[in-house]
Chains A and B, each alone.
Chain A
Amino acid sequence: MRSIITQNLSRVYKSPVEKTGLARSAKGLFRKEFKYINAVTDMSFCAEHGDKIGILGLNGAGKSTLIKMLCGIIAPTSGSVVVGGYTPFQKKNDFLRLVSLVAGNKSQLNPDLSAWDNFRFLKSIYRVPERQFSETARKLTLLLECANLIDKQIRRLSFGERIKMEIVAALIHRPKFLFLDEPTIGLDVRSQESIRKILSDYCAEGDAVLFVTSHNLSDIVDLCNRILVIDGGTLRYDGGLAAFCAHYNTTSEINIEVENCTPRIREIVAGTGIVDCDFTGNMIRIQVEKTFITTVFRELIQKLSNDINKIQIIEPRTEDLLKELLIKGKVK
């Protein structure tokens, strides 16, 4: 069964053009001008239970807008979206019981209550059975190492501590569709890791569909088995993370450390079938097409065997690869 289907999903924002300067602002009082922003354009994709999808894109690419349409906060301008058999924007209660959203910059917790009271409040709202509630809450807070903070008023928690509580709160009713918009923004490495652990455990347990947007590419690499790459509101890539890397990761790097970088060595290096190279002191970094890597490697060892101190092949980390692809806009 397909649990999420979108077809030609688009969202246009209409927003007033802000005028600068007194005279122009005053004029704007009488005649408002609007501009239209195509935040999401013509997106079609499907997702099934067990999918863990990372949404990648630069600022303003339309990631949050897509998530807001998927969980029903805003309506699409055109196209359709079906989640778990429901149209999200109708906000049927049965649908809402299936979804949860965590947004790093928004809070669903009452700042005047303790985390525990907040959880109990949500338990009553979602009518979660007592057993399931205490099990979930206890387990999650232990894993997130925040069990000792549970009686503290939310407004007294640090940002990172609060986000952890937000995540626990979002999982209390065991949603089938979990949406996370920049969940680890502003967290330290250790907290990021525990949050990722919780989320991947949660997905492994049930068969929830997970959507994550994050600037922290390690989140995506750790959590997701599939990515959507968005650029300027359009979907550029939809598929497995591994396939994505295989497709775009066409070069590898060979690092050589030599005794002394003589012109002869430079000549030999330039003569092998390389894409690009960079000499710094006695370090040489060579970019080679993946398909030729063995040939080039063998050739270098043969010709430079007396000069080489150390030679190694470096596979780019997935994060770096993703970053480079996003920034250089290579994804077409």
Chain B
Amino acid sequence: MKKALNLFRIEGIFLKYNLIAMLQYRLSYFLSVFYELFDALTMMAYFYIVFGSTSSIAGWAQSQIFTLVVVSYFINIVCVMLYIGMTSIPEYIHSGQLDLLLLKPVNKRFFLTFRSPNSVQILNFLVAAVGIGYCVAKSDAVAINIICFFIALLCSIILMYSVMCILISLSFWFIRIGNSWNIIELLNQMSAKPKNIFPMPIQLLLTLFIPALVIINNPAYILHFQYDIFLRQTLPITVIFYISSVIVFRLGLKKYSSAGG
């Protein structure tokens, strides 16, 4: 408990100093707010142009597809806001800059992954949160679906974190790992569609190996259709991926042999 509180305290410190840096010096951070917002708007426009004339696709009504888009936006924003900074870890490993970061008296995985957040995304976060609220209000879901929906959202955030963490830890072994962030973004955009439109093998792939469907699709599915998928898929997959990420990261740190100087 005390440990968890300390992590919250440190996350607060990260956000605070990140905000200071942004407010004082970097216009580009603010541009990133508009970039993400623009991204979400394009995605919505895309849906209304492509699916606007049909009333339902693969059993999903238009409003339900809208939930998918909002969930995708929301997860994306939380990820960018809190732990996008971890994408520079491969570079730190490569250059040996990781050395000094490893000497901080804070849980290493937490410190490295949450160290440089993007705090101005709080603006996008608020917009996304309102969107989520709107989707829930418009749906005719019952209490149990709504509760599971919110827990599933939390799981999605953790799952997304775990997947990124695993990908990034791989650079302890393969120094030159490409820009894994692009792959994730691509998958997210792909999976913000009713999952039934994918052939079964691809659905399986996107559920078990790269759980993009679990992250984006399941919350919306839980809200609008059946909540039992939460226990059958979301929860176990999140737990498995989270534990794997912890293990892979630990092994990676053991393997770290520094560089330079």
Contact = CB atoms under 8 A, between A and B. Distances in A.
A265 interface: no
B106 A107 contact: no
A305 to B, nearest CB: 56
Contact of A107 (B100, B104, B258): B100
B21 A93 contact: no
Interface string A93-130: 11011011101111110101110010011001110000
Contacts of A120: 17
Contact of B261 (A13, A110, A124, A181): A181
B254 interface: yes
Contact of B21 (A71, A94, A113): A113
Contacts of A161: none
Given A104-B261, A117-B17, A125-B13, A73 B254 contact: no
B5 to A, nearest CB: 13
A125 B258 contact: no
Interface residues of B, number: 26
Contacts, number: 75
Given A117-B17, A125-B13, A153-B25, A64 B261 contact: yes
Given A74-B257, A103-B261, A110 B102 contact: no
A124 B102 contact: no
Contact of A97 (B105, B108, B116, B254): B105
A71 B103 contact: yes
Contact of B17 (A68, A91, A113): A113
Contact of A106 (B26, B105, B260): B260
By secondary structure, the A interface counts as mixed
A91 B20 contact: no
B103 A99 contact: yes
Given A93-B105, A107-B97, A125-B10, A73 B261 contact: no
Contacts of A117: 17, 20-21
B38 to A, nearest CB: 24
B17 A110 contact: yes
Nearest to B106: A125
A242 B210 CA distance: 63
Interface in A40-97: 64, 68, 71-75, 91, 93-94, 96-97
Interface of A: 13, 64, 68, 71-75, 91, 93-94, 96-97, 99-101, 103-108, 110, 112-114, 117, 120-121, 124-126, 153, 181-182
**The 7 nearest A-B residue pairs measured at CB:** A112-B21, A93-B105, A108-B100, A96-B105, A105-B261, A124-B13, A97-B105
